[in-house]
C-alpha cells in the first residue's frame, strides 16, 4: 500500500534511462545506456542493458507489427533475460512508413505555429490529419517573412501497432522516433570529427536500407532504398531450395555443406552486385536531391547486413568512395558483466538503438522533428 502510494508521489527522474526498442523485420534490438559526466559535459555513455533476438516470423509486415502479442512476448523475454530495468521506452518507426516534407510557410509567432502548421499540413500529407501522428521542426527562419518547416507524419495505425507490442511487454511507449532520425543522432554523437564533412550514412537492414546525406552536422536528405539482407535469403532459398536458417548461416560466412558451392557463390555474388548497384544509384539520386555543391567525402555503413562478407567492399567499388564501418558503440563503455564477444557481434545492427537510447525527456536539441507519443 505504502509502496504504491510512494511511487505515485515520486516523479520519475529525467535522467532515468529509457529502454530503446528497435523492432526490425529480422531482429528486435533493445538497449539502455546512461550518460557519463554531468548534464553539461557529457563525455559518453555507459551500457546499462542490451539484448537482441530474432523477430517472430511474419510479425512485422508492411511496416507495422501485425503480431503484437508474439513481439511483446519476445521483448519481455529479452528484457527479463538481460535484467534490464525500467518501463519507459523510446521506439523506432520504420522510415518507409513515414511521410516527410519540407514546406515553406508564412512567418508566425510561436503561439500560432502549431495551429498554422496543422492547417498547412492538410495540403501536403496524403491522409486526413486525424489519421496521422503529425510533428514538425523549424528548419530555417527567413527574417519575419517566411519559415521552412519539416513536416513528419505517420499513420496512427502504424504507431499504434508498435505501441501495442510494447504494452504487451508491460512497457510504456513514451517516445517514437523515425529510425533514420535516430540513426543520424547516433552518428552525430559518435563521430563528431566528421561533422564538417559531407557524408552518406547507410543502415543496411533486412528489408530496406536507410540512406542519409549529412553535411556540417545536418541532415540534407534522408530516404530509404528497398534492398537489404533478406534479398540473400530469398535468392539462396529459391536457387538452392535451402531453409532460411541455412541461408542465414551462409550469410554469416559459413561454408555450405550439401549444396553446390558454385551455385551458392554465384547466387551470393549476384545479390551483392545487385544491392551495391542499387545503393550506388540511389546515393547519387539522394545527393542530387540534397542540392549541395559539395561532393560526398565518404560512406559510413552499419546495419546487420553490413556484416555480410564482401557487401561493404562492393559498395566501395561501385561508388568509388571510401566505405567505413560505423561503430555505434564508439562512445559507449561497458564493464566485465557484459559479454564482449556478443556485444561485438550485435553492435553493427544497433545504430538505430543507440540513437533511440540517448534520447531523454526534455531534449531541447532536436535536429529533426520527433513524433511524440506520451512524451
Ligand atoms: N553476423 C551477421 N552476418 C551476416 N549477416 C547478418 C549478421 N547479423 C545479421 N545479419 C543480417 O542482417 C539483416 C538484419 O539486420 P538488421 O537487424 O539491421 O535488420 P532489421 O532492423 O531487422 O530489418 P529492417 O529494418 O529492414 O526491418 C538480416 O538480413 C540478417 O541476416
Ligand atoms: Mg532496422
pTM summary value: 0.91
Give the model's pLDDT for residue 1.
Answer: 29
Give the model's pLDDT for residue 3.
Answer: 30
**248: Cβ below 6 Å to ligand 1?**
yes
**328: Cβ below 6 Å to ligand 1?**
no
Half-sphere exposure of 53 (CA within 13 A, CB side): 19
* 284 C-alpha to ligand 1 centroid (Å): 24
- For a ligand 1 pocket test, name from 20, 25, 27 the mutation site with the most ligand atoms within 8 angstroms of its C-beta: 27
Confidence of residue 73 (pLDDT cuts 50, 70, 90): very high
**Of all protein residues, whose CA lies closest to atom 7 belonging to ligand 1?**
304
Residue ranges of domains in the chain, CATH in brackets: 1-96+156-191+327-375 (3.30.420.40), 193-325 (3.30.420.40)
Give the model's pLDDT for residue 5.
Answer: 34
Confidence of residue 371 (pLDDT cuts 50, 70, 90): very low
Confidence of residue 6 (pLDDT cuts 50, 70, 90): very low
Res 10 pLDDT > 50: no
Helix (H), strand (E) at residue 216: none
DSSP string, 93-154: E-GGGEEEEEEEEE---HHHHHHHHHHHHTTTSSS-GGGEEEEEEEEEEETTTEEEEEEEEE
Q: Which residue has the cell 555505434?
A: 328
* DSSP state at residue 194: G
Confidence of residue 211 (pLDDT cuts 50, 70, 90): very high
**53: Cβ below 6 Å to ligand 1?**
no
Give the model's pLDDT for residue 67.
Answer: 98
Give the model's pLDDT for residue 137.
Answer: 84
Res 9 pLDDT > 50: no
Give the model's pLDDT for residue 363.
Answer: 54
Range 236-253 average pLDDT: 95
Position in ligand 1 atom list of the atom nearest CA 28: 22
Most confident of 10-19, 129-138, 313-322: 313-322
Mean pLDDT of the chain: 90
**351: Cβ below 6 Å to ligand 1?**
no
Position in ligand 1 atom list of the atom nearest CA 179: 25
- Whether the CB-CB separation of 307 and 266 falls below 8 Å is answered with no
Tens digits of per-residue pLDDT, 131-158? Answer: 999 988 888 889 989 999 889 999 999 9
Confidence of residue 284 (pLDDT cuts 50, 70, 90): very high
Res 123 pLDDT > 70: yes
Res 217 pLDDT > 50: yes
**Of all protein residues, whose CA lies closest to atom 20 belonging to ligand 1?**
24
* 54 C-alpha to ligand 1 centroid (Å): 9
**Dihedrals φ, ψ of 290, to 5°?**
-70, -15
Give the model's pLDDT for residue 109.
Answer: 87
Neighbours of 310 (CB within 10 A): 14
**228: Cβ below 6 Å to ligand 1?**
yes
Tens digits of per-residue pLDDT, 154-177? Answer: 999 999 999 999 999 999 999 999
Give the model's pLDDT for residue 365.
Answer: 41
Confidence of residue 303 (pLDDT cuts 50, 70, 90): very high
Is pLDDT larger for residue 308 or for residue 17?
A: 308
**Of all protein residues, whose CA lies closest to atom 9 belonging to ligand 1?**
304
Confidence of residue 39 (pLDDT cuts 50, 70, 90): low
Amino acid at each position: 500500500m505504502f509502496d504504491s502510494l510512494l511511487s505515485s508521489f515520486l516523479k520519475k527522474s529525467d535522467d532515468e534511462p529509457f529502454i530503446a526498442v528497435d523492432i526490425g523485420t529480422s531482429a528486435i534490438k533493445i538497449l539502455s545506456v546512461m550518460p557519463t559526466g554531468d548534464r553539461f559535459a557529457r563525455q559518453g555513455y555507459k551500457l546499462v542493458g542490451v539484448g537482441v533476438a530474432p523477430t517472430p516470423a511474419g510479425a512485422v509486415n508492411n511496416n507495422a507489427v501485425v503480431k503484437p502479442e508474439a513481439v511483446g512476448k519476445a521483448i519481455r523475454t529479452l528484457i527479463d533475460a538481460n535484467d534490464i530495468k525500467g518501463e519507459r521506452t523510446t521506439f523506432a518507426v520504420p522510415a518507409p512508413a513515414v511521410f516527410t516534407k519540407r514546406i515553406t510557410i508564412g512567418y508566425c509567432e510561436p503561439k500560432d505555429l502549431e495551429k498554422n502548421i496543422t492547417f498547412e499540413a492538410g495540403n501536403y500529407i496524403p491522409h486526413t490529419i486525424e489519421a496521422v501522428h503529425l510533428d514538425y521542426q523549424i528548419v530555417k527562419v527567413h527574417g519575419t517573412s517566411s519559415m521552412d518547416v519539416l513536416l513528419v507524419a505517420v499513420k496512427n495505425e502504424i504507431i499504434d501497432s508498435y505501441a501495442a507490442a510494447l504494452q504487451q511487454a508491460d512497457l510504456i511507449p513514451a517516445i517514437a522516433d523515425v529510425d533514420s532520425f535516430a540513426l543520424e543522432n547516433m552518428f552525430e554523437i559518435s563521430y563528431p570529427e566528421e561533422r564538417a564533412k559531407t557524408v552518406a550514412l547507410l543502415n543496411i537492414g533486412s528489408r530496406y536500407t536507410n540512406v542519409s546525406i549529412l553535411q556540417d552536422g545536418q541532415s540534407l536528405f534522408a530516404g530509404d532504398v528497398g534492398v537489404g539482407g533478406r534479398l540473400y535469403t530469398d535468392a539462396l532459398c529459391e536457387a538452392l531450395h535451402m531453409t532460411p536458417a541455412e541461408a542465414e548461416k551462409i550469410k554469416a560466412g559459413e561454408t555450405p555443406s550439401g549444396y553446390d558451392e558454385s551455385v551458392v557463390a554465384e547466387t551470393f555474388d549476384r545479390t551483392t552486385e545487385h544491392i551495391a548497384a542499387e545503393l550506388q544509384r540511389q546515393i547519387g539520386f539522394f545527393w542530387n536531391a540534397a542540392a549541395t555543391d559539395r561532393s560526398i567525402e565518404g560512406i559510413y555503413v552499419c546495419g546487420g547486413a553490413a556484416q555480410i562478407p564482401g557487401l561493404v567492399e562492393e559498395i566501395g567499388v561501385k561508388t568509388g568512395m571510401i566505405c567505413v564501418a560505423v561503430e555505434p558503440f564508439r562512445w559507449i563503455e561497458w564493464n566485465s558483466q557484459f559479454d564482449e564477444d556478443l556485444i561485438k557481434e550485435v553492435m553493427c545492427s544497433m545504430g538505430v538503438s543507440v540513437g533511440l537510447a540517448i534520447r531523454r525527456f526534455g531534449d531541447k536539441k532536436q535536429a529533426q522533428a520527433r513524433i511524440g507519443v506520451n512524451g
